[in-house]
Structure 1
Amino acid sequence: MSGEWSSFTPLDVTVQNGLCALIPCNYWYPSYLNNKPRIGIWFNSEASNDNNVALHSKDSSKESTKFRHRTRLSGDLGDNNCSLVIDNVTQQDAGPYIFRVEFGRGDGFNYYPVTQLHITALKHHGQTLTCRVRYPTVSSEQILTLNVQYAPQNLSITSPDNVNNSWVSVNEGNSAAILCSVHSFPTSNLTWRHLGVTLNTTRSSNELWMEFPQLTRQDAGVYQCVAENEHGTAERDVTVTVEYAPWNLSITFPDNVSISRYQCVAENEHGTAERDVTLTVECE
């Protein structure tokens, strides 16, 4: 394969939150570049975006702040090994990764397809660990519960009303309640926000309700739930729409039209509005 640009990387890699991630990678290039110095770059994006550099083999100052001092190559670029190691992975590290090599003077290449990194929760939180010691005449046993700390994840928004893809629809005048919940340990502080204003908040809880006793059309808009503990932050938006009957019906006429009586009726599933007008216009 030394005569062409090609590589081998997996399409998907899955690792548990807080552990070390390895993205295996081997690459090949035209043979005339065999003895040339090279730079290896990993991007946390679909393309070679300088704002999302996960690793730069020559200049670590070009790496994104969140990756600095956490990434390294597991092998030697000179041996066609471009495998990436990420220490202490978090949910923020999930996403696409792509490798690029640069030889200088315009000789460089992005190796596709990208690898998707998936971060899963630690399955061991809340499980028990049993230690048993046995001797010929006596035995002892102790049971411990494992407490694994992790950042907020799996944040969800639910409501007894119509919820569809982060969208809640309620009739004007009705009440509504929306629940924000998250998984984390220790428990998270939750906050509901709208237009940059904090509506309500709770500390050390993984659930927070937002309630509307009587919705008006002014309550429509985008609301944001933010969960935070000492290990990280998660957030999600929900759009509230308010349905209402026709109102503020108006009637206008073009010039030079003579109408003695005119009626306009507006109707939707929530109600009807109508308006009459009597108008005499002199036409020249």
Structure 2
Amino acid sequence: MIGKSYFLLSLLQVGLSQDWKGDTPREVTAFEGSCVQIPCHYSYPSHLANQPRGGVWFNSKTLDVSSIAFHSRNHIFEAVQFRHRTRLSGNLKDGNCSLIINNVRREDAGPYFFRVEFHKGPNHNYPVTQIHVFDFTDKPTIFPAEIIAGKRVDISCTFNTTCNGTAPVLTWDTPTDVPGSVSNTVTQHGVTLTYTSVLTLIPSLKHHGHNLTCRVRSPSVSSKRIFTLIVQCRDSNQWITGLLGAGITSCIGLIGFIIYKCVRKGSSTGRGHSAQAEQVSSYSQGRQLDGSRRGDSKWEMKLNRIINEYQGPTYENCVFDRSLSHQKSKQFF
């Protein structure tokens, strides 16, 4: 008899050794129009492990049946303002009692607590969590990328949330003449969910200065982030190198022609008249120098005209190196 009483007392002590414990935060921040999650994990005496149970969340500090935000056994007991907007993110059998509220409203602010109800056992209330509701101000993030004309580029837009409720939707607004494709993914790191949308496009110089807009939408709210395209030339000085080569070739031909004409004219005057020969020689040298200057002047005018043409609004973001022309000229002369 004594042995049997001792055995029953030991079982009672084991049962009481598992306290009723709840792991919930004191405060949670929510944004109007989005979803919010109250993390919740609970424990109970081990002898109740096989007992059927239900979970109830109250939007109050007391057992007010008119303020039931969630009821696992029968949703008809839930207050009208919460119906179809609340659910648990886990399984009660696993000790997970986390509550999710979708499409948060201003009137959702206030105290919440979780209550577990066993079919053939005691019930227990867990600590209170206060929800604070603010205006929706979160914006998506756009990661910058180097944008080169004619080269494919991926531009990423992300949005982070810790609520596994109604998923936000990421979309892109692009100019009609900027075609592209979009891919969306969702990844999870701990309790954080990252929604990513990648816009793939091949920009041209005419798209420089155009805006791309990434929007995040929830059932009743949205926000956006704007990204301005800064399109760079593939090689901003490639064209001027070719232009200089053609210009130098033209200069060589022009100077050669002038020298040829001067020499030919000097030879035709006769070699018997030294004074006249000197005069012709002097005239030829002056003509040669004058022609060279005119050719150089024409070359400079042509170069400046083309540079100015390519530095219009379309190419205002391309950096053209004018010093390149002077360097090439010095090498030639």
Q: Which has the higher contact order (CA 8 A, sep 6+)?
A: 2
TM-score normalised by the chain length of structure 1: 0.46
TM-score normalised by the chain length of structure 2: 0.40
Structure number, greater radius of gyration: 2
- Bigger helix fraction: 2
- Bigger strand fraction: 1
